Amino acid sequence: MRSPAAERRRPTPWDAVVALAVVAFAVVLIFLLRPTQGSAVTAVITLDGETVAQYRLDQLDQPETLTLNEAPYPLTIAIEPGRICIDHSECPSQDCVHTGWISRSGQQIICLPNRLVISLSGSEAEEFDAVTG
């Protein structure tokens, strides 16, 4: 059985509707399949291996502070839209405070005396596999 469509020479309005639907659907798909927002950055704070807090830095509207009195050397963490730092620490070395702000996926702040790590991860591919220093 031959399709009636095969005998026609000119496209009908229905063909146009199908074509338009395909185009419209493609546009919708491009939108839907887009990777999630480019600059998602999540800060995970762990104390001796346990996660104690987590922040989406890109979704933060206003600065926050987090005080961890349960740490061996109590410390205060400052969290701002897009960045995070250890503002104050009672630890003897102060290396963690010296690190300053971090803002990019793959960066870390380490407080050795507290066994505390703040790690940033995100949707953007990290530029390197590892960092020496």
Residues that bind another protein (CB under 8 A): 3, 5, 14-15, 18, 21-22, 25, 29, 33-35, 48-49, 92-95, 98-104, 107-108, 110, 112, 115, 117, 123, 125, 127-133
- Please report how close the Cβ of residue 107 comes to another protein at its closest, in angstroms: 6
Tokens at residue 4, please? 């009636």
User: Residue 25 or 81: which CB sits closer to another protein?
Assistant: 25
User: Residue 62 or 132: which CB sits closer to another protein?
Assistant: 132
Please list, in sequence order, all residues whose beta carbon lies within 8 angstroms of the beta carbon of residue 91, skipping any fewer than 6 positions away: 72, 73, 75, 111, 112, 113, 114
What DSSP state is assigned to residue 35?
P
> Cα 130 vs. chain centroid, distance in angstroms?
19
